[in-house]
Amino acid sequence: MIEETLQDVDLVERVRAVLPSIAARAAETESLRRVPVENVDELRAAGYLSALVPAKYGGQELSLTEVGTATRLLASACPSTAWAMGLLMLHCHPIANFSGELQHEIWGSGDEPLICSSVAPVGKTTRTKGGIRLSGRFSFSSGCEHASWAILGFSLPNANGDAEPHFAVVPRQDYSIEDVWFAMGLRGSGSQDLVVEDAFVPHHRYEKMWLLNTGQASGFATNPAPVYRLPFAPVNSLAFPAVVLGAAEALRDLYRDRIRTRVRSYTGAKVVESSSALMRLAESSHELDAAARILDGHWSEMDARSLSPDIAGMDQWVTWRTGQTYATRLAVRAADRLFEAAGGSAIRDDNPMQRYWRDIHTAASHAYCDYDVAAQMFGSYLAQVAPPAGVF
C-alpha cells in the first residue's frame, strides 16, 4: 500500500525524483537483461506500480494522463525499465474488471504483487470441470521475473465455432520462466518466455478479451473508479508509444547537447554552425511535439470519456488505438533523423544515444506499433468498410 505521505504528491513528480538513480543504473539494467530490484523498489515506493490498483486494495486509481506522462518521463531515464514496469503497472487495469474472486486472490493479501503478461492467443486448452487446462509457450513476457501472476492468451470456440481470444490469469507456481531474452534493444526488459504445462485455470480466472473492451467482463463495476470503465486495449497499450516517445526525446536532447560542442574531425568545422544539423534538430523536435500532442490529447480524451455513463464505442477505440501507433511512427522517424547524423562516436557502447536508438526500434517492433496494420484499420473505419482479415 502506498505510504500516506506520498498521496499529496503528483505521480509525475514522484517518478521524476527517482530518475537520476534509475538513469545511473541503465547500463547495469542492460547487462542484467532485467530490471534491477533497486529500480522496482524505488518505483514501488514512488507509488508508480500501484497507480492503477483499485483503492479498496490500497491503490490510487489514477488517471491515464498521469500514468502516461509518468511512463514517458521514466523512459527518458531507462527505456527498458519503463517498458517492463509500465506494463506491470498497466496490467492492474484489466484485472480490476476480472471476477471479484480473482481480484481478492491477487490483491487481498496486501503484498502488492506484480502481474506480467503474454496476451497473443497462442495457448492450447481443453475444457474440464470447473474451467480449462492450459498449456503452451508464451513469449515476450516483459518484467516476468518480478511478477507473481501472468495474464496469458488463448482462444476458445464460440457458438459458431469461431475462435475467440481469451485471457487466463495464472499464478507463478503454474508456469516456468525460460531465459531466452537476447535482443538488440530493451535488453533490460527481461522479456522472457513463460512455459505452462497442463495448468488448471478455474472459470473465475479467465475472460473473453472482447468483454474487457466493452464493459461486459465479469468484474465490471466491482471497482467504481472511472478509469476502469475504459476499454482494455488502448489502456494496456499506453506504455508502447509513451516509452518510444520518452526515449526519442532523450535522444533528441543528447543530439542537441552534442552538436553544441561537436567539431568535425576532418575539417574542424563546428557542427552547430551547420544548417543541416539545425534543420534536423528542428524537424525532429516538431515531430516529437506532434507525437506528444497526439498522446496527451488522447489520454485526456480517455480520462474525460471514463466519466461518461456510456462505454467508449468503436469511434473512440479506433481513434485511440491507431493514434497511439501513429505517434510511435513519428517518434521513430524523429529519432532516426538525428541518430544518422550524430557521428561515429554515437555508436560506441559508452554513448547512451545508441542504446536509446536500439530501444526505440525494439519497442516499435511490437505488433501493436505496426502502422501498416493501424492504417488499414483506420482507413477502413474512415471509408466505412470492413477491415482486411487479420487487422486488429
CATH number at 89 reads: 1.10.540.10
Q: How far are the Cα atoms of 11, 57, 161, 229, 302 from residue 307, in angstroms, in the given order?
A: 21, 22, 37, 8, 9
pTM for this model (two decimals):
0.95
Residues 155 and 269 grouped into a single domain: no
CATH number at 190 reads: 2.40.110.10
Residues 290 and 182 grouped into a single domain: no
Residues 82 and 129 grouped into a single domain: no
Please check the confidence at residue 6 and state whether its pLDDT lies above 70.
no
- Mean pLDDT value of segment 185-211: 97
- Mean pLDDT value of segment 150-176: 95
How is the beta sheet containing 149-157 ordered, strand by strand?
176-178, 192-202, 131-141, 115-128, 149-157, 163-171, 206-208
Q: Which amino acid is at 214?
A: T
- Mean pLDDT value of segment 333-350: 94
- Mean pLDDT value of segment 160-170: 94
Residues 85 and 132 grouped into a single domain: no
Residue 388 is assigned to a structural domain of this protein:
no
Whole-number percent of the chain with pLDDT over 70: 97
Q: How far are the Cα atoms of 85, 102, 232, 329 from residue 123, in angstroms, in the given order?
A: 24, 20, 20, 30
- HSE, CB side, 13 Å, CA atoms: give it for residue 31: 7
pLDDT in tens, 119-142: 999 999 999 999 999 999 999 999
Question: What is the domain count for the chain?
Answer: 3
- Mean pLDDT value of segment 157-185: 95
Residue 271 is assigned to a structural domain of this protein:
yes
* Domain-terminating residue out of 57, 90, 108: 108
Residue 224 is assigned to a structural domain of this protein:
no
Residue 46 is assigned to a structural domain of this protein:
yes
**Rounded-to-integer distance, Cα 69 and Cα 12, Å:** 7
pLDDT in tens, 79-114: 999 999 999 999 999 999 999 999 999 999 988 999
Residue 362 is assigned to a structural domain of this protein:
yes
Band (1; pLDDT cuts 50, 70, 90): very low
Residue 176 is assigned to a structural domain of this protein:
yes
* Domain-terminating residue out of 79, 108, 137: 108
Residues 187 and 244 grouped into a single domain: no
Q: What pLDDT was estimated at residue 264?
A: 77
Residue 221 is assigned to a structural domain of this protein:
no
- The residue ranges of DSSP E strands in 129-227, in sequence order, are 131-141, 149-157, 163-171, 176-178, 192-202, 206-208
| Length of the chain, in residues | 392
Residue 102 is assigned to a structural domain of this protein:
yes
Q: Which domain holds residue 283?
A: 230-383
Residues 284 and 344 grouped into a single domain: yes
Residues 234 and 379 grouped into a single domain: yes
CATH number at 329 reads: 1.20.140.10
Alpha helices per DSSP H over the chain? 11-24, 26-32, 37-45, 64-77, 79-90, 92-95, 100-107, 209-213, 232-236, 239-261, 275-306, 314-339, 352-364, 371-383
Assess contact for 190 and 39: CB atoms under 8 A: no
Q: What pLDDT was estimated at residue 7?
A: 67
